[in-house]
Amino acid sequence: MPDIRLSPAWSAPSVVGMEITERVAVLGLGRMGLPLARRLSGAAKELVVWNRTSGRAAGLTGAASPEEAVRGAGVVVTMLSDPAAVAEVADRFRPALAPGTLWIDMSSIGPAAVAEQHAQLPYGVDLVDAPVLGSVTAAATGSLVVYAGGADQALDRAEPLLAHFGRVVRCGGPGAGAALKLVMMGAIVTAVTAVGEALAVADRLGVPAARARHALAAGPLAGVMARIDSTDADFPVRLAAKDLALADGGPVFTAALAALAPLCADPARAELDLATAAG
């Protein structure tokens, strides 16, 4: 069983004024990557960013390529969409990583992909997998949960930077953070799709929607209903389906993935928040 330890009690003021003295490169400025980079912009002594689609730097210092971004950086942070994106971008910047560099991958890619990247690390480079739980608002306010896996010395070095993003959970060795993220997402996504089906049954049986939703919110599924009713969550259905597929679960996860398939088949609906799966 992995060693799962919470970092010391975290609150936003604990990192205010804490300077990151190393040059930091952030690669990937999507929904989550951009607010994370902004969190570091006032803390890192030097910050450079890169995104595959240009024009996303939003006032931050941008690089023309991944290799340019990581050159001279002591810490590299990646927040990319899936294992294929991480592999493609890493192939570009890996040769430019100097001994002593710490790579923190915050993408949700699963432990197998993390192991593949570990196997290709240049000499003297450490990798911490640190996917997060929480949405865009939590990223902007520094209130995410960060699941971190890696060697102890790498986690010790990564944790002060990760604390700018939220509460750090040290999960164990390499890949342990990525594994716990899939466990969490499998449970959350499956629960949301199950509630969606329950609401459909309520409609078929003539139970008023408001009554059904109130009853669900007042019971053991209160947390799931709070996620469904959230007005600031922004986690696309396609990424929820990606995480569920990476979890590679049994019949329940498979059924939830099938329930998401019609949404994923429509490019516009695939970008909607996961709550869409609840109807």
End residue of a domain, out of 172, 205, 240: 172
- Using CA atoms, how far residue 78 sits from 29, 66, 251, in Å, is 9, 10, 32
pLDDT of residue 18: 55
pLDDT tens by residue, 78-131: 999 999 999 999 999 999 999 999 999 999 999 999 999 999 999 999 999 999
Torsion angle in degrees (nearest 10) through CA of 4, 119, 102, 69: -130
List % helix, strand, coil for the chain (3-state, nearest 5): 50, 15, 35
- H helices present in 42-169, as ranges: 66-70, 83-93, 110-119, 136-141, 152-162
Q: Which domain holds residue 30?
A: 5-172
Across the chain, what does the average pLDDT equal?
A: 91
- 201 and 119 in a single domain? The answer is no
- The vertex-247 CA angle with 93 and 249, nearest 5°, equals 160
The catalytic residue among 181, 213, 227, 238 is 181
- 235 and 195 in a single domain? The answer is yes
pLDDT tens by residue, 198-224: 999 999 999 999 999 999 999 999 999
55: left (phi over 0), alpha (psi -120 to 50) or beta: left
Q: Band of the pLDDT at 8, cuts 50, 70, 90?
A: very low
End residue of a domain, out of 172, 201, 224: 172
Burial class for 255, CB neighbours closer than 10 Å (0-12, 13-18, 19+): middle
pLDDT tens by residue, 22-48: 899 999 999 999 999 999 998 888 999
Overall average pLDDT of the 138-151 stretch: 96
Q: What is the pTM of this model?
A: 0.90
Residue 75 has pLDDT above 50, yes or no: yes
Quick check: is 45 catalytic?
no
DSSP single-letter state for residue 165: T
pLDDT tens by residue, 259-274: 999 999 999 999 999 9
